[in-house]
């Protein structure tokens, strides 16, 4: 495969402009007010895949948002790469913390992105990274270099837990048959430290509701005499970690995969600058489970975090009230061998068991998924590693990430194939946060690296 660099150089402006157009559509899957926008994003992806050289592209209906499926089969005897990505994005809130409107993309230079970065919701997660694959496909077909078969499966519900994808995958196993799944929806260590994500954490997401009295009460007349659901809920939540920041749910760690001393030593070789980490987050120290490093805490260890908590009076001024209800959304990041349904059960029974008299507790499971670890001694990983060597001039470091793409474990189960996670984002790209961005350099580097993967994978298969 020839280097894609000259082609990218020639079409660079158009590649950027096309991504910007895509980023203008607010495809927020969590909010039904944006339904039309989510649907029109699917149409736009379909059109872009057709233009990039797919032979057939369709919008596959599901109980939720459609999945864009496209393929180009050049020879059934050659390997098939299945590209997965998502066209939906997270809600942009809090809006007032954005320096420019989230769906009005702008290019700004930053310290880490001196060539400029595109600021918009979805720039990195995942429209920008998904679109690298569309442009890599364009390059390979327009220059007659596509070495194998390609299938694209781009969904619109990833940010809400992919509720329809299992439905789709289990019904379309033949259509989706492949030799490797390729995803760009993660990050890399740094622009000069390429890495390949070899692990994702699982997830169990729940919502809890604590109910005290049947209505909000005067906090003077009733205060002290009835349970205050917010007081109770915060105490219950606080009790979920002990002083060593271990999670106290009985059985929570029973199946947790323990890494060997060698594996942990290998992990510790990845560059990590604690001072820079603290500075970037404006914190005076890191925090977490005793006995583990920061990189271990956020990748190979399970966690429990409150994502949101509410109840009572939060308007202007003061209102003296004992609320009837208090709520929280809680996520647990899981590691290999923890079954998310089992963990959800353990959480539910523990949380119900620690509720004091005077309140009622409801636990509502949202969604979840298993962790995933990809082997590094197989053809697919080796091919990816070679691709980075071609374009970065360095061997990438395998690194387990703390994020979750729950569908990856399901792919392995249903489609029997391994996933390669070639992420080109940086941790500082602010995915899910205000001012999300994606470096133009990263975007173009991804487009350059992906075709090399196809080349090596086909040759080595
Ligand atoms: N692309 C992210 C996951 C990710 C980001 C993994 C960076 C590794 C590095 C994905 O879109 C995401 O946000 N996943 C959710 C879970 C999902 C079920 C909502 C997450 O990790 O919170
Ligand atoms: Mn994503
Ligand atoms: Mn995301």
Q: What is the DSSP string of 210-221?
A: EE-SSS-EETTT
Residues of the chain with CATH 3.40.630.10: 5-200+371-460
- pLDDT category of residue 360 using cuts at 50, 70 and 90: very high
Which residues have C-beta within 8 Å of that of residue 405, sequence separation ≥ 6?
Answer: 158, 183, 185, 186, 200, 369, 372, 421
**Which residue's CA is minimally distant from atom 4 of ligand 1?**
403
Q: How far does the centroid of ligand 1 lie from the alpha carbon of residue 428, in Å?
A: 15
Ion ligand 2: residue ranges with CB closer than 5 A: 125-126, 185
Which among 157, 158, 300 is the best mutation to test ligand 1's pocket, defined by most ligand atoms within 8 Å of the CB?
158
pTM > 0.85? yes
What is the CATH topology of the domain spanning 202-256+302-369?
A: Alpha-Beta Plaits (3.30.70)
Taking the CA of 203 as reference, the closest ligand is 1
Task: Give percent of the chain with pLDDT exceeding 90.
Answer: 98
For ligand 2, the distance from its centroid to the CA atom of residue 203, given in whole angstroms, is 14
CATH 3.30.70.360: which residues of the chain?
202-256+302-369
Nearest to 420 by CA among 451, 376, 458: 376
Structure token digits, residue 287: 């925090």
Predicted local confidence at residue 427, as pLDDT: 93
Among 185, 205, 308, residue to substitute to test ligand 1 (most atoms within 8 Å of Cβ) = 185
Q: What is the mean pLDDT of residues 304-313?
A: 97
pLDDT in tens, 36-60: 999 999 999 999 999 999 999 999 9
In short, whether 405's Cβ falls inside 6 Å of ligand 1 is yes
Q: Rounded CA gap, 20 and 199, in Å?
A: 30
pLDDT confidence tier of residue 71, bands split at 50, 70 and 90: very high
Q: What average pLDDT is seen over the chain?
A: 97
CA of 19 to the centre of ligand 2 (A): 16
The predicted pLDDT at position 20 comes to 98
Q: What is the pLDDT of residue 56?
A: 96
Ligand 2 centroid from CA 428, angstroms: 15
Residue 125 in contact with ligand 1 by CB distance below 6 A: yes
| pLDDT at residue 77, as a whole number | 97
CATH T-level assignment (fold) for domain 5-200+371-460: Aminopeptidase (3.40.630)
- Average pLDDT (112-138) is 98
Please report the pLDDT score of residue 297 as a whole number: 98
Task: Tell me the average pLDDT across 335-344.
Answer: 97
Quickly state the pLDDT bin for 68 (edges 50, 70, 90): very high
pLDDT (mean) for 366-371: 94
Predicted local distance difference test score (pLDDT) of residue 2: 94
pLDDT, tens digit (0-9, with 9 covering 90-100), for 318-332: 999 999 999 999 999
The β-bridge partners of 329 are: 207, 308
Q: What's the mean pLDDT in 329-353?
A: 98
The predicted pLDDT at position 241 comes to 98
- HEC per residue, 63-117: CCCCEEEEEECCCCCCCEEEEEEECCECCCCCHHHCCCCCCCCEEECCCCCCCCE
Question: C-alpha distances in angstroms, 300 versus 259, 304, 325, 341, 349?
Answer: 8, 13, 35, 19, 25
Q: Give 247-271 pLDDT, tens digit per residue.
A: 999 999 999 999 999 999 999 998 9
Q: Mean pLDDT over residues 302-308, rounded?
A: 97
| Ligand 1 in reach of 185 Cβ (< 6 A) | yes
């Amino acid at each position: 495969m020839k280097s894609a660099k000259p082609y990218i150089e020639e079409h660079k402006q158009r590649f950027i402009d096309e991504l910007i157009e895509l980023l203008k559509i607010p495809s927020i899957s969590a909010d039904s007010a944006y339904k039309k926008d989510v649907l029109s994003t699917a149409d736009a992806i379909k059109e872009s895949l057709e233009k990039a050289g797919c032979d057939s592209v369709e919008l596959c209906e599901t109980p939720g948002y459609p999945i864009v499926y496209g393929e180009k089969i050049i020879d059934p005897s050659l390997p098939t790469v299945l590209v997965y990505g998502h066209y939906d994005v997270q809600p942009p809130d809090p809006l007032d913390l954005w320096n420019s409107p989230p769906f009005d993309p702008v290019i700004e230079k930053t310290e880490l992105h001196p060539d400029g970065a595109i600021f918009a919701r979805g720039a990195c997660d995942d429209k920008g990274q998904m679109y690298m694959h569309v442009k890599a496909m364009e390059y390979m077909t327009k220059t007659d270099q596509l070495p194998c078969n390609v299938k694209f499966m781009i969904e619109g519900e990833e940010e809400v837990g992919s509720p329809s994808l299992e439905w789709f995958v289990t019904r379309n196993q033949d259509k989706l048959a492949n030799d490797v799944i390729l995803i760009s929806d993660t990050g890399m260590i740094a622009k000069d430290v390429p890495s390949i994500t070899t692990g994702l954490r699982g997830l169990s997401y729940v919502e809890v509701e604590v109910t005290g009295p049947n209505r909000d009460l005067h906090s003077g007349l009733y205060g002290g005499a009835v349970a205050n659901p917010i007081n109770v809920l915060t105490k219950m939540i606080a009790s979920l970690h002990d002083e060593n920041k271990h999670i106290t749910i009985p059985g929570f760690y029973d199946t947790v995969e323990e890494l060997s001393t060698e594996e942990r030593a290998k992990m510790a070789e990845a560059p990590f600058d604690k001072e820079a980490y603290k500075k970037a987050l404006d914190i005076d120290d890191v925090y977490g489970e005793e006995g583990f490093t920061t990189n271990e805490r956020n990748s190979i260890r399970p966690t429990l975090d409150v994502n949101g908590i509410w109840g009572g009076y939060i308007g202007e001024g003061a209102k003296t009230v004992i609320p009837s209800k208090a709520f929280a959304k809680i996520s647990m990041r899981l590691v290999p061998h923890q079954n998310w349904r089992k963990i959800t059960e353990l959480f539910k029974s523990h949380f119900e068991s620690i509720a004091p008299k005077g309140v009622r507790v409801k636990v509502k499971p949202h969604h979840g998924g298993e962790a995933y670890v990809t082997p590094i001694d197989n053809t697919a990983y080796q091919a990816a590693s070679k691709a980075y060597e071609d374009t970065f001039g360095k061997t990438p470091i395998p690194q387990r990430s703390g994020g979750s793409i729950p569908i990856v474990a399901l792919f392995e189960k249903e489609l029997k194939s391994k996933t390669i996670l070639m992420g080109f984002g940086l941790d500082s790209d602010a995915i899910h946060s205000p001012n999300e961005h994606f470096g133009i350099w990263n975007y173009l580097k991804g487009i350059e690296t992906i075709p090399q993967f196809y080349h090596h994978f086909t040759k080595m298969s």
